[in-house]
Structure 1
Amino acid sequence: MRDETIGGSRETSTPCWTREQAAGIKRSDATVAPIVYPPEQETDDDVHIWDTWLLRNRDGSIAEIDGYRVIFSLSASKELLPGKRHDVATIRYFYSEDGKTWTCGGPVFDGDAFGSRQWAGSALYDDDGTVYVYYTAAGYRDEAELSYQQRIAVGAGGAVTTDADGLSVDGPWSHEILLEPDGEFYEREEQSRGMIYTFRDPWFFEDPATGETCLLFEANTPVSESDNPYDCDAVHEEFNGSVGLAVSTTGDPTDWELQEPLLESVATNQELERPHMIVRDGSYYLFVSSHKHTFAPGLEGHDALYGFVADSLRGEFEPLNGSGLVATNPASAPFQTYSWLAYPHSEELLVSSFFNYYDLRGLSLDDVAGLPPVEQQRRFGGTLAPTLRIELDGAETRILGALEHGHLP
């Protein structure tokens, strides 16, 4: 397939989100979410939470254990300035019987995980009841200065138990680094020339058509200054986000081999965060989150959920709604939510996210960082956002409305 990039084209086996497609991004009634206001009750009184994912069965359905559902969230103390939360991120779990009120069970790991902090991932409740928590190991244990090395890891061997007092997710956990970038399909940190380096956000997925066991993840495509098959200029080639793929040929949730990416966005976007897949009526829907500032120069994107559809896992992904834009924030509140996660519910899609920065009144996020600490705290939500309801019709989507904060049916 041809990749229409700046200055020419190339032959590639990997589908590309092109500049021409992304140039069509535009807010519309179908893609703009309602304004979000602070909830009466936050998800947790003690910690801010942001990137969140559900405990799922091997087939992708939501796990339910004795009437409980479980979510995992990145978390940090509310006493910390919001902009510093990524430097100390800890994965906590929460459980609920009604999908509305969530009880915090505490940190998942007891200081034994890889990395100086842990970033987003996914969680598998396997057929035998074993829990696997996939995560991004950011930096290294006990490092004197924070580094941004990223590796894909797993905590394996956990179990879920319930009693009269609620639910518990416990180890012992066996931690393992599963994947590191190879420098060929996926850029290593020392190869990076872009604003942000990524190799993170593992997402477990089993292909219902073939039974193939997969991990999706966020990465960057290596683009050499001396050997650039993308035929784009030096400014744009630094924007090189991709959705990576690893496969377990045995079905073992801890045994993975890197394969070619599912989607690239060289010259279009630097950061395709938290990739995840839904299969409906034989079509494969790939979703990512991305920021306004990670689009290459000359493109006007938004902080938003973007989506693509193909007829198979390795098919020719085309952007939903022509441009890829599925759900974004209103122009008057451009950063009110982020880190969207779509999952099927009856005939609709439900999309969770977290309540991010609000009441900015025209301030940029850089402006917020310069505000007094109390004002930075006041403008950060740090809790589950209202859940969006989305209609999915082939390659078209439409926002139908929203449920309450943190309502995950």
Structure 2
Amino acid sequence: MTDADPAAGDAPAGDPAAIRRRTPAWTREQATNLARVDDAVKPVIYPPADPVSDEVYLWDTWLLRERDGSVADVGGYRVAFALTAPRDLLPGKRHDVATIRCFYSADGESWENAGPVFEHSDPLGSRQWAGCALWDPDGEGPSDLYCYYTAAGEAGETDLSYTQHIALATGGTLAVDGDPDDPDGLAVAGTFTHESLLRPDGVRYETEEQSRGMIYTFRDPWFFTDPATGETHLLFEANVPVPEGSDACDGDAVAQEFNGAIGIADSPTGDPTEWELRDPLLHSTCVNQELERPHVVVRDGRYYLFVSSHEHTFAPGIEGFDALYGFVADSLHGEYRPLNDTGLVLTNPGNAPFQTYSWLAFPHEEELLVTSFFNYYDLEGRSLDDVADLPPEEQFRRFGGTLSPTIRLELDGDRTRVLGKLKHGHIPLPHEALPELPTRSVGGRRGGYR
């Protein structure tokens, strides 16, 4: 059997165990040393005076980018896409109705709502989960705007399912001065056509039927052009198959259920609509079940691979956090090693462990900037499971549902360090000077909020 059409889900030749063995892994030895070190902890944050929207929550957010990964400029606007849900819905139910909306900003601080992206077309699935967006007006493809997203569930289903596949919408565009109600703004124009791009093959990537874990994943596409090769890739979150009876995790059947992976597909021609599945970049069998929203930053010839994950998706015996984790290699398909020895890059403080989530790192001058959304705060020691037991008015009060402050990171080889923060939702222009960092006397280094 040879590799077949990945969109059809046909299995490639190969053995799942052999694929795991040849794929770089985040190991238990590395992850058991996770700790809230000062250089990785962000400050406690507070609700902004004005959230991005009074009508909808927004959470997982991604910036419109060009092929080279730079933040796109559309008529002087920075553009972001986010999962959204009405603010009169209990926050814990938002994933069941998630809809992608577009937001834009002229100054990178004040954001305007351009409305639902797929208002005039029928997206795949019963709701949309996280993705990415490519702005390619000078490309040779069929569109200038490519909206990749996770199609969750099946269209028209009565009872929500958790089937996931990666989808693409093309044909629509972004029009400056295109909204008669806001002639100075930006609008989503045109009609999108939707297609299913990728489904798990059962050998490289686990299918829903194979899943034994707490959460099944095949989602979160992220477009990437390798600057060293010019090749085009699509990263995504997945799980690797670990059949019952496997010798993985020394035969520990419970630990085997924690089998997260960062998947990748290639476009042989660079066409943003045509993809072929390849072996994973990294897996976390025996360590973590969910490596969300993978993305890459290239700096000084090194490839920095970032993911978000939760404290509750770590295997028994490992105490992790809701945090941004990272790995570094000398090439995209290289031997990844965890940043800061354990993989921990950025996490919430111990007295506000769930205040932000869904981090996205991007370069700005000599620093990395990290966006996220304002999640649950003022929980007074409660877990996320405890939130559902609170009265509805308290659930509403304790959920942010807007952009959180942008965090500034120093990146030095295989080490990172929190420097400080910008305002809620601040996305600086390229080459925009950032505020001077105050000096702190910790080993003679500079810091931000401490």
Residue of structure 2 equivalent to 1:131: 145
Residue of structure 2 equivalent to 1:291: 310
Q: Aligned-pair distance for 1:408?
A: 1.1
Per the alignment, do residues 28 and 226 of structure 1 end up closer, same or farther by CA in structure 2, a change over 3 Å counting?
A: closer
* Distance (whole Å) between structure 1 residues aligned to residue 60 and residue 112 of structure 2: 17
Q: Is the 8 A contact 1:58 1:127 kept in 2?
A: no
State the one-letter code of the partner of 2:147: V
Tell which deviates more after alignment, 125-134 or 9-18: 9-18
Residue of structure 1 equivalent to 2:126: 116
Residue among 406, 411, 430 paired with 1:387: 406
* Distance (whole Å) between structure 1 residues aligned to residue 279 and residue 390 of structure 2: 44
Q: Is the 8 A contact 1:122 1:134 kept in 2?
A: yes
- Identical aligned residues as a percent: 67
Number of residue pairs aligned between Structure 1 and Structure 2: 401
Q: Aligned-pair distance for 1:229?
A: 5.0
Per the alignment, do residues 222 and 11 of structure 1 end up closer, same or farther by CA in structure 2, a change over 3 Å counting?
A: closer
Report whether the alignment pairs 1:93 with 2:93.
no
Q: Is the 8 A contact 1:282 1:311 kept in 2?
A: yes
Q: Is the 8 A contact 2:20 2:240 kept in 1?
A: no
Report whether the alignment pairs 1:401 with 2:420.
yes
Residue of structure 1 equivalent to 2:264: 245
Q: Is the 8 A contact 1:243 1:275 kept in 2?
A: yes
Residue among 164, 170, 173 paired with 1:156: 170
Bigger share in strand: 1
Q: Is the 8 A contact 2:222 2:294 kept in 1?
A: yes
State the one-letter code of the partner of 2:317: G
Equivalent residue of 1:190, what SS? coil
Residue of structure 2 equivalent to 1:192: 211
Q: Per-residue displacement from partner, 1:156-215 (whole Å, max 9, x unpaired)?
A: 122121124211122321111000000000000010000000000000001000011100
Q: Is the 8 A contact 1:219 1:244 kept in 2?
A: yes
Q: Per-residue displacement from partner, 1:267-292 (whole Å, max 9, x unpaired)?
A: 00000000000101100000000000
Q: Aligned-pair distance for 1:60?
A: 0.3
Residue of structure 2 equivalent to 1:19: 28
Matches within 5 A, 1:1-400: 12-110=21-119, 111-128=121-138, 130-163=144-177, 164-229=183-248, 231-400=250-419
Q: Is the 8 A contact 1:34 1:330 kept in 2?
A: yes
* Distance (whole Å) between structure 2 residues aligned to residue 56 and residue 323 of structure 1: 30
Equivalent residue of 2:368, what SS? strand
Equivalent residue of 2:418, what SS? strand
* Distance (whole Å) between structure 1 residues aligned to residue 319 and residue 247 of structure 2: 25
* Distance (whole Å) between structure 2 residues aligned to residue 229 and residue 324 of structure 1: 21
Residue of structure 2 equivalent to 1:5: none
Q: Is the 8 A contact 1:302 1:328 kept in 2?
A: yes
Q: Per-residue displacement from partner, 1:232-259 (whole Å, max 9, x unpaired)?
A: 4101000000000000001110100000
* Distance (whole Å) between structure 2 residues aligned to residue 311 and residue 123 of structure 1: 26
Q: Is the 8 A contact 2:248 2:256 kept in 1?
A: no
**Runs of 5+ consecutive residues of structure 1 not aligned to the other structure:** 1-8
Residue of structure 2 equivalent to 1:4: none
Residue of structure 1 equivalent to 2:5: none
Q: Aligned-pair distance for 1:402?
A: 0.5
Equivalent residue of 2:205, what SS? coil
Q: Aligned-pair distance for 1:226?
A: 3.1
**Runs of 5+ consecutive residues of structure 2 not aligned to the other structure:** 1-17, 178-182, 429-450
* Distance (whole Å) between structure 2 residues aligned to residue 181 and residue 171 of structure 1: 31
State the one-letter code of the partner of 2:163: Q
* Distance (whole Å) between structure 1 residues aligned to residue 251 and residue 406 of structure 2: 39
Q: Aligned-pair distance for 1:11?
A: 7.7
Q: Aligned-pair distance for 1:228?
A: 3.9
Equivalent residue of 1:301, what SS? coil
Q: Is the 8 A contact 1:14 1:263 kept in 2?
A: yes
Taking only aligned residues, the RMSD between alpha carbons, in angstroms, comes to: 1.3
Residue of structure 2 equivalent to 1:6: none
Per the alignment, do residues 61 and 10 of structure 1 end up closer, same or farther by CA in structure 2, a change over 3 Å counting?
A: closer
* Distance (whole Å) between structure 2 residues aligned to residue 293 and residue 343 of structure 1: 26
Q: Aligned-pair distance for 1:363?
A: 1.1
Equivalent residue of 1:192, what SS? coil
Q: Is the 8 A contact 1:44 1:104 kept in 2?
A: yes
* Distance (whole Å) between structure 2 residues aligned to residue 301 and residue 170 of structure 1: 43
